[in-house]
Amino acid sequence: MIQIGSFNKLKVLKRVEFGVFLDGGEECEILLPNRSLPESFEIGEELEVFIYYDSEDRLIATTEKPLAMVGDFAPLKVVSVNSIGAFLNWGLAKDLFLPFAEQSRDLRPGQIVVVCIYIDKSDRIAASMRLNRHIDKDPSGYKENEKVDLLVYGKTDLGYKAIINNRHSGVLYQNEVFQDLKYGQHLPGYIKKIRPEDGKIDLALQPLGHKGSVDLGEKILERLREEGGFLPLTEKTPPEKIYDLFGVSKKKYKMALGGLYKKRLIVIEDNGIRLK
């Protein structure tokens, strides 16, 4: 059975003037137009193709890779808006439909929106900005300090909301984020805590505990070597300066510095730190 909105391996049935027909099963032949044909192929060969609907709502195949597929959360650009919805650029000839009912705010062309791509009740591919309907609510597969991929999709008084590994949702707390995060931004992160009482996930941008300190310690030593063995960093150095240099909070920096000092790899002086 073919998977609409995903890549499928389908057998080439026959060649026609405007492309080839592929075996879609259940007596369904799917056109792969000439513009998407590989340079060489044979009748009976299986081709890996993406299946979607063309502008006349007919199933069609392409070897082009879309920006996102069914089940994915992704930031996509608004191409046009009308009375029934918006249309998004997802990298294919036919734009992706975002129904008016699935919009969480007014849209205009040129905006970036984070959406989930899904199959609607009429078996058509569509997008939704109402992400909570599509987020997996069971976080049991994660471990604390596990590295994950994040997609920022909102901001609250607490901090930033992010999609985790294209499935779940979590929060990066404002007082623990020392950089500007943008809506629709992809970045790596870590599972800080899974709260069993409500299944919610707290996130961090750096590894936790000892591992994070070890990694940061290596960065500090590397920076010291680059600067001739000395950095003018003291207790009075602003947190913003620490973040500019190492991308972490001052608290994290001091933890890593303490580890280096105990190993006698650095000397802490009144006007800075020195490589020993």
Tens digits of per-residue pLDDT, 50-65? 999 988 888 999 999 9
Same domain, 200 and 220: no
What is the pLDDT confidence band of residue 209, given thresholds at 50, 70 and 90?
A: low
The 10s digit of each residue's pLDDT in 152-163 is: 999 999 999 999
135-163: burial string, b at 16+ Cβ within 10 Å, e else: eeeebeebeebeebebbbbeeeeebbbbb
- The two three-digit tokens of residue 241, written as one number: 């300066």
Average pLDDT of every residue of the chain: 90
Domain of 168 in residue numbering reads as 147-204
Q: pLDDT at residue 253 above 60?
A: yes
Q: pLDDT at residue 166 above 80?
A: yes
User: What CATH number does residue 180 fall under?
Assistant: 2.40.50.140
Same domain, 58 and 98: no
Q: Residue 68 falls within a domain, yes or no?
A: no
Q: pLDDT at residue 213 above 70?
A: no
What is the pLDDT confidence band of residue 214, given thresholds at 50, 70 and 90?
A: low
Same domain, 52 and 78: no
Same domain, 125 and 158: no
What amino acid is encoded at 137 in this protein? K
Domain endpoint, select from 39, 62, 85: 62
Domain endpoint, select from 133, 156, 181: 133
Taking the whole predicted model, whether its pTM rises above 0.85 is answered as no
The H or E element containing residue 98 is strand 96-99
Q: pLDDT at residue 210 above 60?
A: no
Q: Residue 239 falls within a domain, yes or no?
A: yes
Same domain, 51 and 81: no
Report d(CA 6, CA 118) in Å as an integer.
11
The pLDDT of 121-134, averaged and rounded, is 94
The tally of domains found in the chain comes to: 4
Q: Residue 1 falls within a domain, yes or no?
A: no
Sign of CA dihedral 51, 52, 57, 60: negative
Q: For residue 212, what pLDDT is reported?
A: 54
Same domain, 94 and 126: yes
Q: For residue 211, what pLDDT is reported?
A: 52
Same domain, 264 and 214: yes
Query: Of the spans 56-60, 125-129, 256-260, which averages the highest pLDDT?
Result: 125-129
Same domain, 80 and 56: no
Same domain, 42 and 94: no
Name which of 267, 173, 251 is nearest 213 in CA terms: 251
**Residue 65: C-alpha distances to residues 50, 69, 82, 92, 151 (Å):** 7, 9, 27, 8, 20
The pLDDT of 114-121, averaged and rounded, is 96
DSSP conformation class of 133: G
The pLDDT of 112-128, averaged and rounded, is 95
Q: Where are the alpha helices (H) located in the chain, listed in sequence order?
A: 209-226, 239-246, 250-262
Phi, psi (5° rounding) for residue 110? 100, -20
Q: Residue 106 falls within a domain, yes or no?
A: yes
Name which of 223, 186, 192, 222 is nearest 208 in CA terms: 192
CA angle 234–235–236, rounded 5-degree value: 90
Residue of higher predicted confidence among 104 and 256: 104
217: helix, strand or coil: helix
**Percent of the chain with pLDDT strictly greater than 90:** 57
Report d(CA 215, CA 242) in Å as an integer.
15
User: What CATH number does residue 232 fall under?
Assistant: 1.10.10.10
Q: For residue 82, what pLDDT is reported?
A: 95
The pLDDT of 163-184, averaged and rounded, is 90
Q: In what order do the strands lie in the sheet with 230-231?
A: 230-231, 272-275, 266-269
